[in-house]
A and B are shown apart, each in its own frame.
Chain A
Amino acid sequence: MTAAGAAETFAAERHDGIRNLGVYGTALGVAIGASGLAGLVSAVFAAGDDTIDALVLAGVGTGGVGFAALLARRPFEARAMRAVPTLTACVLAYLAVAAISTVVYLATGSLSRVDDALYESVTGVATSSLTLFEDPQVLGRGVLVWRAATQWIGGLLALGVAIGIYPFLGGSRELADPRARGFRRLALANKPIPALKRVVTMYGVVTVVVAVALLIVGLSVTDAVAHTFSSVSTGGFSTHADSIAHFDSRAVDVVMIVVMAGAGFSLALVWMLATGQFQDTLRVYELRVYALVLALASVWVWWLADPLDDATGVVDHGIDSVFTVVSLSTTTGHRVADWGSWHPGAEMMLLTLLAIGGMAGSVAGGLRWIRVVGLVQFVWRELQRQLHPRTVRAVKVGSSAISEESIDRWHAHLLFTMFLTGTGAVALAFFGSDILEALTLALSAVSTTGPALAEDGGTLQSAATLSRSDRAALMPLMLAGRLAITPMLVGVGVVVFGAQRRLSAQAFRRRLQGRT
């Protein structure tokens, strides 16, 4: 390379860097701004509480920074969205919310250690329910709402990445809209900005509707708002130690079942329902599979958990079964019963559902049903190829053919998930967990659910009993799971390879200077 060529390359890189400022500004502005809003809402609930100052400060401060970031990004707005800076910006947005939340926990005195505060914050933004607080009632109302709000923000960012960003960066369009195929128009919008706006609008509307429903069935305002935030985001944080069982109300259980099941729906389908496309919605294959699985799994769990040998009665036990199936299959983690002490067959079913999660394009974590159906079809095709070596067969979900590129990505996703789960389980076992706990904890963390099967029987609902090294091992798993893994890897890759490239460039420049 000549000196002039090298100079041009460096100038182009600088220009790219300036353009990327717009992307980073948008992602961080939205995330930090949303944290500010959450801080202000929490401050309202902290009235008369000694945490109010910290929450107001957090709200005003982060809100101001977020707003400033959004204003400052305008001159640098890029015309086209590019994969690497956009996905890196998304990862940074998550980390920013986690960092803000860490400061809030420390500033409000809710937690005194930085690593504890960071763990609780990461668990929040990753919408996992494995909290540090065995009894959340020790926290003030404002912090309880803040804690749930971090899950709400985590859910919003996840939806934004899954529906508004990733499909437009060459990711699987089927994940944003189960009917998407080829260049077919996506249900929500065919461009990132309108799609993101609709995501925010729908998420907001659903949040308000759920809050009203929970108020109607008798929850206090704090409980209703906190559980709304943690349910529409499939987060699972509760304001009470025994989660939804605390309310001892079947009406609350039923409303929560509907809310959690809805959170496992593809947002594109919710949009279709909202715009009156009922027939088209019911034809979506993934929805049929998802509904059928929930129904069959509920019956399976109800039957295996021995309904007749239970003082709660057949119907109540049925509701508990449905609740638990829906809660875990949507990776929420709310609970009404200790499912860890149920029949092993029921536990195994629940763990399987937990690993698969909800529909594509939903806020739920996990592998997603569309991938499972697609990969089963792929296996079937490979079996058929053994019999008919020259067969040409499309992998289909329902009547929609899935592109080979998407299938490749789904394989990669599955392998990454297995790799993360395996590595996490090894690390947890290394730090002292038994095999069952290590495996189920890692699985639950990657799917962003939270609870696991405890060493001593029953369900592990809190991270308080875990060691600090266990929690340190869980954090990257939860974040990777929440970020649908690929963006996380891209983001990490950028940091690692970017640093490597910069070092190489510096070395090259020094060599060049030495020569001249």
Chain B
Amino acid sequence: MRVVVVGAGEVGTHVAQLLSREGSDVTVVECNPSRIAQIDKLLDVTIVPGSATDPSVMRSAGVGSADLLVAATSIDEVNLVASLIAKLEGTNRIIVRLERPGIRSEKAKALHDAVGATLVIDPDESVAREILDLLSYPGAAEIARLADDEILMVGATLADHAPFTGMSLSEIGAKYEPDWDFIVCTITRDGQTIVPRKDFRLQSGDSVRVVCKNRVRAKVLRELGLETVEHHRIMILGGGRTGEILARALEAKGHIVAIIDRDPARTRELADELDGVLVLEGDITDASLLEEEAVGTYDAVVALTGEDDANILACLFAKKSGARETIAVLHRLELRHLLRDAGVDVAISPRTASANAVLRTVHGGVSAVATTLDDDIEFFEIEVDPLSDAAGASVRELGLPRDTLIAAIVRNGKPKIGRADLHFQAGDHVVFVAHGEDVDHLSRVFTA
């Protein structure tokens, strides 16, 4: 597949990396020399220097023959113009990043159609949704909703007191026979992620990803040693767009919300827009401010400014002061593994949520994708086509790639955890766990 990615920012680079890893032929259009130098070292992609609003630059990037354009700069106007050029040049599928609510909404659909947008993505909103999910499952490090919310992927670090700690997967399986409601899909230990076998024994500190039926999530959360009581008092550090979307959503759900930003003009805007939210003006690394506002009394503290250092410092301070959970949005992820021990419970990146949406479009029939930051493992959902090789076959008969796991299927709206003797039927929604490079092969097996 030929893909042109416009903009080598955080989102664009991650999308280019994922697609390149999956075997796509990726070209990146970028005008910033330092970013060009950065991705040249990092990725195996073709780079076209220049502005994406220049038709000649876009033509030299090959938009005319591209299967997909991802316009992912942080400037809506640039993305719209790049999309329009791609549409005029004949690109089939166009994904455009738009942030301003006025041009993102359904009311602007005519504009989306005019530029040929197949999908509109907004990293800020995606991050806010991801954080909302995390706040609904205190202690969880990752949450992904699959198969119309029937299936949930929960990622968490095993605590000493967690019931799973010290048990092997076969022991866990035996405990819940005959009807499994969940399955342990991946384990990350010492920086290595594996799809574990049944004799694998879980330890405290392991990062575990479990796929479960949504209706039994409380039981699974307990087994993982997580709390089942939702956070109520939440402090948001950073009043950017993500913070605003998050604050509005939390306030609507009845949470007590405080938001801090250092820009006086922005805090006034937030105060105008957000009813029932305590808006505070100040620097999130100002310890006196955090003390004054009793940050330690909050159930969760979410730091999402554009500065990683500030986010980490504020989370560390909040954790030391007594906050139950801290979540930091990080843009540089190299040291994220060290943060948990230091006091940052969850580190998330704006890139993954948008990348998942892009991958859904790339894989066509796939209706949900969850990628992870630590590894090339993808959780994705696909519908079994009646004319595919998979229809009527069992898991064993298909001979799936190594480390591929059938985590669950949803048949006629009812979820079922995957087992080796499972036979696929047309219309089943299958949730896979697989390496990125195997996704394309699996898509072919399950679609006509």
B272 touches A390 (CB 8 A): no
B275 touches A392 (CB 8 A): no
**Residue in contact with B275 in the complex, picked from A388, A390, A396, CB distance below 8 Å:** A396
What are some 20 contacts across the A-B interface (CB < 8 A)? A384-B278, A388-B292, A388-B293, A389-B292, A390-B280, A390-B281, A390-B292, A390-B293, A391-B278, A391-B280, A391-B281, A392-B264, A392-B267, A392-B271, A392-B279, A392-B280, A393-B279, A394-B268, A399-B275, A401-B271
Taking CB atoms, residues of chain B closer than 8 Å to A393 are 271, 279
Taking CB atoms, residues of chain A closer than 8 Å to B267 are 392
**Residue in contact with A394 in the complex, picked from B272, B281, B292, CB distance below 8 Å:** B272
**B282, CB-defined interface residue at 8 Å:** yes
A392 touches B268 (CB 8 A): yes
Within 8 A of B (CB), among A387-427: 388-394, 396, 399, 401
Q: Tally B residues with Cβ within 8 Å of A.
A: 15
B293 touches A392 (CB 8 A): no
Complex CA–CA separation, A114 to B271 (angstroms) = 56
Fill in one digit per residue for B122-142: 1 if any A CB lies within 8 Å of its CB, else 0: 000000000000000000000
Fill in one digit per residue for A104-125: 1 if any B CB lies within 8 Å of its CB, else 0: 0000000000000000000000
Q: How far is the CB of A267 from chain B (nearest CB, A)?
A: 26
* Residue from A388, A391, A392, A394 whose CB has the most chain B CB atoms within 10 Å: A392
Q: How far is the CB of B378 from chain A (nearest CB, A)?
A: 42
Taking CB atoms, residues of chain B closer than 8 Å to A391 are 278-281
**B289, CB-defined interface residue at 8 Å:** yes
Taking CB atoms, residues of chain A closer than 8 Å to B293 are 388, 390
A388 touches B280 (CB 8 A): yes
Taking CB atoms, residues of chain B closer than 8 Å to A401 are 271-272
Q: How far is the CB of B186 from chain A (nearest CB, A)?
A: 43
Chain B: CB-nearest residue to A401: B272
Q: How far is the CB of A288 from chain B (nearest CB, A)?
A: 15
Fill in one digit per residue for A366-401: 1 if any B CB lies within 8 Å of its CB, else 0: 000000000000000000100011111110100101
**B270, CB-defined interface residue at 8 Å:** yes
Complex CA–CA separation, A392 to B280 (angstroms) = 5
Fill in one digit per residue for A42-64: 1 if any B CB lies within 8 Å of its CB, else 0: 00000000000000000000000
Complex CA–CA separation, A396 to B271 (angstroms) = 10
Chain B: CB-nearest residue to A402: B272
B282 touches A390 (CB 8 A): yes
A392 touches B289 (CB 8 A): no
Complex CA–CA separation, A389 to B289 (angstroms) = 9
Complex CA–CA separation, A392 to B292 (angstroms) = 15
Taking CB atoms, residues of chain A closer than 8 Å to B278 are 384, 388, 391
Taking CB atoms, residues of chain A closer than 8 Å to B281 are 390-392
Fill in one digit per residue for B283-294: 1 if any A CB lies within 8 Å of its CB, else 0: 000000100110
Complex CA–CA separation, A390 to B271 (angstroms) = 12
Complex CA–CA separation, A393 to B271 (angstroms) = 5
Taking CB atoms, residues of chain B closer than 8 Å to A399 are 275
- Which 10 A/B pairs are nearest by Cβ-Cβ distance? A392-B267, A401-B272, A394-B271, A392-B279, A392-B271, A394-B272, A390-B280, A392-B281, A390-B282, A393-B271
Complex CA–CA separation, A76 to B1 (angstroms) = 74
Complex CA–CA separation, A350 to B79 (angstroms) = 62
* Residue from B264, B267, B271, B289 whose CB has the most chain A CB atoms within 10 Å: B271
Within 8 A of B (CB), among A457-474: none
